[in-house]
Structure 1
């Protein structure tokens, strides 16, 4: 596809910490919260008033809302890119993100 993830500040590679934070917010947190919610629901957590079921469900809806808002911003940078200070761009393109509309 010819895409790369770079730091907004200098257009270079992300630090290990920034890459870890980006992938945690993009992949690990939604995956884990979704699975905890599904398993808690399957085992009757909502009927029993289990706080883990309700908390994980709230996290899922907050993440869905955050990603929806970021899609509407127009810059194409999700919460994970804002946290890591990164941008996805075609290989060789400038690192500066497009201004929000």
Structure 2
């Protein structure tokens, strides 16, 4: 059995910590959901799918902004002493951070929403191809992302696609005298 990458646990904890913040973004959309129910937009699949894209889009942009900042880290990564850099060890550009987080946050989250919306609108009962494909894609993508971050060189799928690495943040005391 392959050994866990040394940063796997820290990366997992950092991501879970960040997800608590993303949950706050999702909760902030509750008024939109209540308004949609009042206006009967919630009975239209297209509206539910479009509205469900708001939280992952906001979370993706926020994470990209933070990883492209001077700290190179989301709050979770800062808490666990991690930062994201490009393959050359340089800070991330916003576009590279955005690509990384589209793959890491937006795509899996919206795939999950597609599954949930499909289920709510009878997609499993009708064996709807979109719902079934979304289920398969969601689990396959999550397995690839987690497995690639946890084992081997520890470069998650989103790191490989965006040309990034997650490293232990260098502290001033660690760089003095080196």
Q: Same fold (TM over 0.5)?
A: yes
**Match in the other structure for 1:4:** 83
TM-align CA RMSD: 1.8
Question: How many residues matched?
Answer: 92
Q: 1:92 to 1:68 in 2, by over 3 A?
A: closer
Partner of residue 31, structure 1: 109
Give the distance between the partners of 2:140 and 2:115, measured in 1 at CA. Answer: 13
Where does structure 2 lack aligned partners over 5 or more consecutive residues?
1-78, 172-178
* Structure 2 residue 143 is matched with structure 1 residue 65: yes
Question: If the length of structure 2 is used for normalisation, what is the TM-score?
Answer: 0.47
Shift of 1:71: 4.2
Q: Deviations over 1:26-66 (max 9, x none)?
A: 00011000111012112210111222211211210221231
Number of the residue aligned with 2:124: 46
CA shift at 1:7, angstroms?
Answer: 0.7
Rg comparison, structure with higher value: 2
Q: Of Structure 1 and Structure 2, which has the larger fraction of its residues in helix?
A: 2
Q: Which runs of 5+ in 1 are unaligned?
A: 94-101
Instruction: Tell me, in whole angstroms, the C-alpha distance in 2 between the residues paired with 1:69 and 1:56.
Output: 20
